[in-house]
Copies of this chain bind each other. A is one copy, B any other.
Amino acid sequence: MISDFENILSDSSKGMKKSVIRELLKLTNKPDIISFAGGLPSPDSFPVDELKEITQEVMEKEWKKALQYGSTEGDSLLKEQLIIRARNDGMDIDEKNITITTASQQGLDLLSKIMVNRGDNVIVGLPSYVGGLGAFNAYGANIIGIQLDEEGMSAEKLENVLEDLKAKGKKPKFIYVVPDFQNPAGITMSVKRRKEIIALAHKFDVMIIEDSPYRELRFEGEVQHTIYSLDNTGQVIVLGTFSKILAPGFRIGWIIADEKFIDKIVIAKQSADLCTPPFTQRIVARYCEKGYLEKRIQKTSKMYREKKDLMIECFDKYMPNGVSWTNPEGGLFLLVTVPNYIDTDNLFDKALEKKVAFVVGSAFHCDNSGHNTMRINFSYPSKEEIVQGVKRLAEAIKEYMAECKK
């Protein structure tokens, strides 16, 4: 073995942190623990019978293509299906504006790879998706967090930060937003706010990354235009994924962007993994082509809405005073806020004793704030687990509060 292991590591590797969530998931995988920690879709949302049918058809008729290497850009049938869906969602795109990725985590990685030099500034929400933070961090980005309000990322605070950077002769590489049912806050950005963010992006000449994995899992309220369609000048890059609307086990996502970005992304992907599995791409393409996806999304949204409603009901019923939570119009998560004197990093251990788990809020905050928040998932646990788990969590919080008052 070499004499000095640390010295062989890249600066990038030295700065990388283990994903808090993926480490937490290991702790919470025990069968007697009710886990609200993961971001896993419900297995009941997987269309097993339809996928059996399609998988067999692909193996019968298209195995030569599905088992072989594919193009880096992705399966053309899958891209066709995604273009139809994007157009139905108001995005005026064609084949040169889209590429397939090994789920949207790879999208985040590739965008960082083509844009971020070590020390470059990027802007995210406070809180923000932890996988985004992980990808930007791996490329040595200096991550600046902007507080969310009830309409999404604060435009005022964003403008202040952009002004400040400009005064220092700096420009961030991009503004990263999750506009629909944000993970973890559950907030959907208003159209007004979307337009304000676009105006700022134009004023300060900065790209926007619109990451929207939950967009189609809407329970109520009106669909908001994508930031991409409101901009329509090529200044927005969209990340999408089948992980939440079909199945994460296929690892299929996509990027929609101006042609110039797509070209660079494809080159970066060539050396990252050559291509996303042609086998799973073709299964997903046929699934969409048969018109199964839209019906499935409706079913899944209905199921998650019921779970979310039940969870809110239980929070209303069991939580002590001083605890508040978001009530999202869609997605997979609630963000829960506890009194300032509670640090959810510590509450986590007590919750684990009570056999219930969540993700600590600090994981979503690039500035190590958010210690009085936690993310709660309602898509994966069963209804029984939701009731039981919220009771346990309420008990843990009450005990913690009581101890603090001693």
Residues of A at the B interface (CB closer than 8 Å) are 1-5, 8-13, 16-19, 22, 26, 38, 40-41, 43, 46, 48, 51-52, 55-56, 59-60, 63-72, 102-103, 105-106, 108-109, 113-117, 120, 131, 134-135, 137-139, 173, 205-207, 233-235, 243, 247-251, 258, 260, 264, 267-268, 270-280
Contact = CB atoms under 8 A, between A and B. Distances in A.
A118 to B, nearest CB: 9
Given A109-B271, A280-B277, A8 B137 contact: no
Nearest to A16: B267
A-B pairs with the 7 shortest C-beta distances? A134-B271, A1-B234, A67-B249, A67-B247, A13-B114, A249-B279, A251-B277
Contact of A48 (B26, B43, B46, B63): B63
A79 B180 CA distance: 38
B264 A9 contact: yes
A135 B19 CA distance: 24
B59 A51 contact: yes
Contacts of A251: 102, 273-277
A19 B235 contact: no
A271 B137 contact: yes
Contact of A249 (B46, B207, B234, B277): B277
Contact of A56 (B52, B103, B120, B268): B52
A257 to B, nearest CB: 11
Contacts of A270: 18-19, 22, 134
A207 B115 contact: no
Contacts of A235: 1-2
A380 to B, nearest CB: 9
Nearest to A133: B271
A39 B69 CA distance: 9
Contacts of A243: 69
A241 to B, nearest CB: 10
Contact of A116 (B10, B106, B108, B247): B10
Contact of A8 (B72, B173, B234, B249): B173
A329 B109 CA distance: 39
A78 to B, nearest CB: 14
Nearest to A206: B2
A64 B55 CA distance: 15
Contacts of A205: 2-4
Contacts of A16: 264, 267-268, 271
Counting chain B CB atoms within 10 Å of each CB, the highest count among A66, A72, A272 belongs to A272
B114 A9 contact: yes
A59 B67 contact: no
A72 to B, nearest CB: 6
A275 B260 CA distance: 28
Contacts of A65: 249
A61 to B, nearest CB: 11
A233 B3 CA distance: 11
